[in-house]
Amino acid sequence: MSVQIIFKDQNEKMFWEYWKYCLQHKQVGPRYLKENIEFSLIVSRNNSLLYRDKSFIYLVNNEPKACIFFPLEKIENSIIASSNKDYVFSPIFCDQSTEKEIFSIIDKIAKEENVEKIMFSIDPLDSEVYTYNYLTKYNYLDTSLINHIINLESSNSSEDLLKNCHRRIRREIKKILDDKDFSTFIVDKDNPSYDLHEEYRALHHKCSGRVTRPKETFDLQFEKLKNGNAVLIGLSHKEKNIAYYYFDYSFDKALGFSSADDPDYDTLPLYHTLLFKQMEYLKKACVRRINVGQPSSPSMQMNYYPDKKELNIAFFKTGFPGEFVQSFHGIKYFSRDMFERDINTFVTRYHIAT
């Protein structure tokens, strides 16, 4: 048996060839798209976090068995396997029997690079595949959350999609749809308007009050859109574009990626309608399940400390047809000091019931 490990920083061309093969073979969700991996690395580097990229492909007899995205970041003089201080996507296994060997290699890299902790998350869109947190088999502390996953299979038509929304959501959607001053529009592979995409970027900066990430990341989003892996839906009021909602999709899975709105219109229920229109579009694209992302979990947990605004967003998402699924997370500590710091943060920030 011939075993080979191809590190991305040593042979990037071959790495991406095998990565693409694994994506097709396993039909994984959009978080694993090449553009999203590059996006994460660009933002990490721009924020002066990226220390080293130790991503690799594991081959047996020249056949890829696993793909691992493994960025290392330097945060306050500590080396952490994280992605912009958040969880790294868990490995893609083309052959699940290699699981133990892969985590052994990951541990070896971590020790060689003086990593103090590793943070992995399993895609909640794979909840039908992974029914338990397999990370705990490898000494990862379970820090799982729950995600609201929209189920498009429960609705056969646009009317059903609307009917299956909670009445509070339905009411707000109809308010916008019935008002002739409002209209929606689609930017996708069939209508790849770079001007509208640039308008979304400008609105993103206005909404945030600052430039949050490099233009290069928005251009990567536009590449996804042109390749048929993303859709941008906008909302206009009296012919002025006031909000955008951006979704990635791959095979039968979709992920809420980014949004932007004009603060002058923040009292209106903009995202109720935009999310509904995304659901309509994605159902036609044969998507079955949508991850609307965090904040989605309704209470504080280890390493998850939502504020009041974020909890309100989490509640808003539950108004769309779907169900909560476990979003498996795990942290493995190689430093007791790092572990104690995280525990002290949890003790300080967790709200005791009164």
Q: Taking the domains of the chain in order of start, what are their residue ranges?
A: 3-144+328-349, 149-326
Phi-psi region of 125 (alpha: psi -120 to 50; beta: other; left: phi over 0): alpha
Angle at 324 between CA 70 and CA 254, to 5 degrees: 55
**3-144+328-349: CATH topology:** Aminopeptidase (3.40.630)
Decide which of 354 and 199 is more confident. Answer: 199
Query: Closest Cα to residue 46, out of 58, 36, 38?
Result: 38
Region 194-202 average pLDDT? 96
| pLDDT tens digits along 308-339 | 889 888 888 989 999 999 999 999 999 999 99
Structure token digits, residue 22: 């694994």
Tell whether the model's pLDDT for residue 192 goes beyond 80.
yes
CA atoms within 13 A on the CB side of 147: 23
Furthest-apart CA atoms within the chain: distance in Å: 67
pLDDT at residue number 202: 95
Structure token digits, residue 144: 């799982």
Tell whether the model's pLDDT for residue 354 goes beyond 80.
no
pLDDT band at 298 (very low <50, low <70, confident <90, very high): confident
Q: Which of 106-110, 160-164, 295-299 has the lowest mean pLDDT?
A: 295-299
Region 23-42 average pLDDT? 96
The answer to whether 274 touches 54, Cβ cutoff 8 Å, is no
Phi-psi region of 149 (alpha: psi -120 to 50; beta: other; left: phi over 0): beta
Beta bridge partners of 255: 248, 291
Integer Rg of the chain from CA: 21
- In the three-class reduction of DSSP (H, G, I as helix; E, B as strand; rest coil), residue 80 is classed as strand
Global pTM value: 0.93
149-326 has which CATH code? 3.40.630.30
Structure token digits, residue 209: 């009050």
| pLDDT tens digits along 242-259 | 999 999 999 999 999 999
| Strand intervals (E) in the chain | 3-7, 50-53, 56-60, 63-68, 71-75, 78-81, 88-89, 92-93, 115-121, 141-142, 145-151, 182-187, 230-237, 240-250, 253-261, 289-291, 322-327, 329-333
Fold match, 3-144+328-349 / 149-326: yes
